[in-house]
Amino acid sequence: MGKLNISNRYAKAFIETANEKKVIEKVTEDMQLIQNVLENSRELRTFLSNPIMNDTKKIEVLSAIFSDKLCDVSLSFLKFIVEKKRINMLIDISRRFNDIRDESLRISNAEVITATQIDDTQKEMLKTNLESFTKKKLRMKFKTDDSIIGGFKVRILDQIIDATLKNQLNKLKKKLLEESISVN
């Protein structure tokens, strides 16, 4: 069975468990925390994937790191993952957990790039318009890039909306070049 299928299966089962126990919001926060810690700690990933290290030691280390931060359901899940020898897949499982949950709630991440900083009112107006356009709830992340000159660029999943002045100027340039070639 492929890595994605295994991650998917564990993530779906954990979502079901969290929903049954009515702790889905807390477990979602926990999975995000676990994912962030593992992505930012190469040492922890190396330790957990070490086949020489026994399961008891791995559970002890995870408990020491997370016991005061995670709910009991999440801690039990970590123990279960270690016992099933799937701890090396925990980042993938946590990513799939968050992806599946977001899909079910119709939530997407959106990255907005503007030429200059925009104020909170403009951010909220843009968010409202984009949510109306996509029919999804969006988690917005804003960046600036003065090379786009003006306007904005938005990336939502694999869709890009390019309303930048730089893009408009490039289109105009291309059109003018095409017209000059066709005239000659």
87/47 same-domain check = yes
- In whole angstroms, give the CA distance from residue 140 to residue 12: 26
Residue 161 belongs to what H/E stretch?
strand 159-164
**For residue 164, what are the domain limits?**
107-183
113/86 same-domain check = no
Q: Which of 103, 125, 142 is the last residue of a domain?
A: 103
pLDDT band at 125 (very low <50, low <70, confident <90, very high): very high
Question: What pLDDT, on a 0 to 100 scale, did the predictor assign at position 141?
Answer: 95
47/118 same-domain check = no
Number of separate domains in the chain:
2
pLDDT per position as a tens digit, 27-79: 999 999 999 999 999 999 999 999 899 999 999 999 999 999 999 999 999 99
96/127 same-domain check = no
- In whole angstroms, give the CA distance from residue 30 to residue 1: 27
Q: Give the list of residues 6+ apart from residue 83 with CB closer than 8 angstroms, or none.
A: 55
57/123 same-domain check = no
Q: Give the list of residues 6+ apart from residue 8 with CB closer than 8 angstroms, or none.
A: 96, 100
Q: In the chain, count H helices and then E strands.
A: 8, 4
150/173 same-domain check = yes
- In whole angstroms, give the CA distance from residue 23 to residue 85: 25
**The tokens of 169 are what?**
């100027």
Answer whether residue 1 shows pLDDT above 60: no
Of 179 and 86, which is predicted with more confidence?
86
88/124 same-domain check = no
57/76 same-domain check = yes
Residue 150 CB-density burial (10 A; 0-12 exposed, 13-18 middle, 19+ buried)? middle
98/14 same-domain check = yes
8/99 same-domain check = yes
99/27 same-domain check = yes
111/77 same-domain check = no
Q: Which of 70, 103, 136 is the last residue of a domain?
A: 103
Of 177 and 113, which is predicted with more confidence?
113
Q: Which CATH number is 178's domain given?
A: 3.40.30
Question: What pLDDT, on a 0 to 100 scale, did the predictor assign at position 35?
Answer: 92
Question: What pLDDT, on a 0 to 100 scale, did the predictor assign at position 114?
Answer: 92
Question: What pLDDT, on a 0 to 100 scale, did the predictor assign at position 36?
Answer: 93
Over residues 168-182, the mean pLDDT reads 85
Give the CA dihedral 67, 71, 74, 75, nearest 10 degrees: 30
**The tokens of 57 are what?**
């030691």
Question: What pLDDT, on a 0 to 100 scale, did the predictor assign at position 178?
Answer: 84
Q: Which CATH number is 93's domain given?
A: 1.10.520.20
Question: What pLDDT, on a 0 to 100 scale, did the predictor assign at position 117?
Answer: 93
Q: Which of 52, 79, 103 is the last residue of a domain?
A: 103
Rounded to two decimals, the pTM is 0.70
